[in-house]
A and B are shown apart, each in its own frame.
Chain A
Amino acid sequence: MKDRDDILHIFSRRIRGVLEQADLDFEELQEIRLRAEKPLFVRLRGEEYLLSEQGDRETDPEKAWKVPVREIRETMEFVGKYSLYAYEDELRQGYLTLQGGHRLGVSGKVVLEGDKVKHIRYISCLNLRLSHEVIGCGDSVLPFLWGGTGLCHTLIISPPRCGKTTLLRDLIRQISNGDLGHPGHTVGVVDERSEICGCYQGIPANDVGIRTDVMDACPKAEGMMMMVRSMSPQVLAVDEIGGETDIRALETALFCGCRLLVTVHGSSLEDIRSKPLLRRLVEEQMFERYVILYNGSRTGMIRQILDEGGKILC
Chain B
Amino acid sequence: MLKGFGALLIMASAAGIGASFSRDLKGRCMELRLLKQMIYMLRGEIKYTKTPLPEAFTSIAARMKEPFGSFLEQTAREMESQKEGNFGDLWKAQIKAWLSGTCLKKEDKEQLGSLGEVLGYLDLEMQLSSLDLYLEQLEICIREAQETASTKQKLYQSLGVAGGIFLVILLV
Contact = CB atoms under 8 A, between A and B. Distances in A.
Contacts of A13: 82, 85
Interface string A83-95: 1111010000000
A119 B123 contact: yes
A74 B123 contact: no
A86 B87 contact: no
For A9, A74, A85, A88, the residue with the greatest tally of chain B CB atoms inside 10 Å of its CB is A85
Contact of A9 (B53, B55, B56, B82): B82
B85 A85 contact: no
B85 A77 contact: yes
A88 B82 contact: no
Nearest to B120: A82
A74 B120 contact: no
8 contacts: A9-B82, A78-B85, A81-B55, A82-B79, A82-B90, A85-B120, A85-B124, A86-B51
For B46, B79, B120, B126, the residue with the greatest tally of chain A CB atoms inside 10 Å of its CB is B120
A77 B54 CA distance: 12
Given A88-B123, A88-B124, A119-B123, A83 B52 contact: yes
A80 interface: yes
Contact of B85 (A74, A84, A118): A74
Contact of A82 (B51, B87, B123, B126): B87
A88 B86 CA distance: 20
A51 to B, nearest CB: 20
Interface in A61-89: 74, 77-78, 80-86, 88
Nearest to A74: B85
Interface in A194-219: 201
A78 B82 contact: yes
A207 B132 CA distance: 43
Contacts of A107: none
Contacts of A118: 123
A295 interface: no
B121 interface: yes
A9 B81 CA distance: 9
Contact of A86 (B50, B79, B82, B126): B50
A81 B54 contact: yes
Bin the interface of chain A by size: 10 to 19
Interface string A78-122: 101111111010000000000000000000000000000011000
Given A77-B86, A77-B87, A88-B50, A83 B120 contact: yes
Contacts of A74: 85-86
B60 to A, nearest CB: 14
Contact of A85 (B50, B79, B86, B90): B50
Interface residues of B, number: 23
A85 B87 contact: no
A83 B45 CA distance: 12
Interface string B113-128: 0000001111110110
Nearest to A14: B85
Contact of B53 (A12, A78, A81, A88): A81
Nearest to B75: A82
Given A81-B79, A84-B123, 8 more contacts: A12-B85, A13-B85, A74-B86, A80-B52, A82-B53, A82-B90, A82-B119, A84-B121
Interface string B30-62: 000000000000000010001111111000000
Interface in B64-113: 79-80, 82, 85-87, 90
A182 B50 CA distance: 42
A118 B87 CA distance: 23
Interface string A104-146: 0000000000000011000000000000000000000000000
A69 to B, nearest CB: 13
A119 B52 CA distance: 17
A215 B89 CA distance: 37
B4 to A, nearest CB: 62
A85 B82 contact: no
Interface in A1-29: 9, 12-13
